[in-house]
Structure 1
Amino acid sequence: MAYVYVNLLVENPDTMAAYREKAGAALQKHGATVLVSAPSQTVIEGRRDETGIGVLLEFADVDAAKAWINDPELQETHALRRSAGKSAITLLG
């Protein structure tokens, strides 16, 4: 298994809504499962930049996670997420 942590700082709710309409199909295409989606996060130790919506995704393996983020057919979907605000995506695996 491989896990992806996503931190989203939403600045444009309308664009985020458009992204959400497409995100499920994009994740399903690459066999991802949303393990957790939380509207807020609390840092309990250490320091980090701003946090927003926190999402933990599970993929079958590292290659599947990389295929999802690099899929040429999904670039429009990823562009919607980027246009909605700031996002950081971290591959754990």
Structure 2
Amino acid sequence: MEAVGNAGSRQWRVARGTRRAAPVGYIARELGLMDDLDVLAVLNRQRATGELFCEAATALQLLSPDAARRVLEEQRARRSEELRVEPG
């Protein structure tokens, strides 16, 4: 699985005093791992706890089991489409 610490050309680290940590919801949306409703759920949880999460697995644990399952199924389907080679 691609590291959530990388979003496009931007790298994010949770290292005090170096770079500002990006909320995982923002990164996951950039990578196409979550839709806006899932991101909203993660961001609301982050606001409530005051924590920043930097791994997709952590974000998925915060979602409801159905939402996490849907995100994983969509990611698998996307990967299957990318790996599928059309006869030519």
TM-score normalised by the chain length of structure 1: 0.30
Q: Which has the larger radius of gyration?
A: 2
Question: Which structure has greater strand proportion?
Answer: 1
The structure showing larger relative contact order (alpha-carbon pairs under 8 Å, at least 6 residues apart) is 1
Question: Which structure has greater helix proportion?
Answer: 2
